[in-house]
Amino acid sequence: MFDSGVGGLTVLRALRSALPDERFIYLGDTARLPYGTKSGETVTRYAEQATRVLVGRGIKLLVVACNTASSVALGHLAAVFAPLPVIGVIEPGAAAAGAASASGLIGVIATEGTVRGGAYERAIRAVRPGADVVSVACQLFVALAEEGWIDGPVAEAVAQRYLANVVGERPTLDCLVLGCTHFPVLRQAIAAAVGPRVRLVDSAETTAEVVVDCLLRSDLRAGHRTREGGAGQAGVRFLATDAPGRFARVGAVFLGEAIAPEDVELVDL
């Protein structure tokens, strides 16, 4: 699995819980983050480079744990690396939102790239025809998450600036998709900005369910618990393209447990 930085560790956390017998390789492209402000062509090139590194490590399934890359590069990766199963985070999140909303008015907060591409709108309407989707680019959330500023007055003020008017002007909006893997760690500030009537949807757990189903259907699921490949955490290897120490420090917030800097391998794409 790969992401532009450490945000995808929220997806890894859910995957490890759902699949304790599997081994995981996580690549954070920390040298080139954020992806959300870059062109689709550039993100697609970065995504292919990251995937080639992972394929070289012998993976059996790829999770694109980045909403921006999922929105613009998923089809390209599936075609280039076929028959490798490739799973993104947008469709699972869209399915969860379609099921969760009573009113059909669904909000999506994401990076500029994801909002610009319209992938969530298409995916939500595919599972919930007639849904009204409101998308808001919240690029500063990525920087706050990467800095570890996930609560307190700064995070709360940014969330209020992005979201208070959006929700206030749409009283029937009852569901908000956290359309970037960095955003779940800012859940408290986001929830305060939108109020208790709006349900927050995080695609991490739904993505884990899709991965489990894919492994079972493809007869690829590991049948025994393994302790190989550990990089601090059993069955996990961490790769980063820059600043392994920073990856370990900030990544611990997303993964929910400490990561030793010496357990993060520096790689060049």
Backbone angles phi, psi at 93, to 5 degrees: -65, -40
SS3 257: coil
Catalytic-labelled residue, pool 138, 175, 180, 214: 180
Determine whether 180 is an active site residue. yes
Query: Which residue is listed with tokens 């969860």?
Result: 96
Sign of CA dihedral 159, 71, 128, 133: positive
Catalytic-labelled residue, pool 66, 138, 175, 214: 66
Determine whether 66 is an active site residue. yes
Task: For Cα atoms 88, 94, 97, give the angle at the middle one, nearest 5 degrees.
Answer: 140
Q: Residue 2 corresponds to which tokens in the numbers above? A: 């790969």
Is the CB of residue 124 less than 8 Å from the CB of residue 176?
no
SS3 158: helix
From 109, 134, 112, 110, select the one nearest 121 (Cα to Cα). 134
Q: Residue 28 corresponds to which tokens in the numbers above? A: 């954070």
Q: How far apart are CA 32 and CA 53, in angstroms?
A: 15
* Active-site annotation, residues: 66, 180
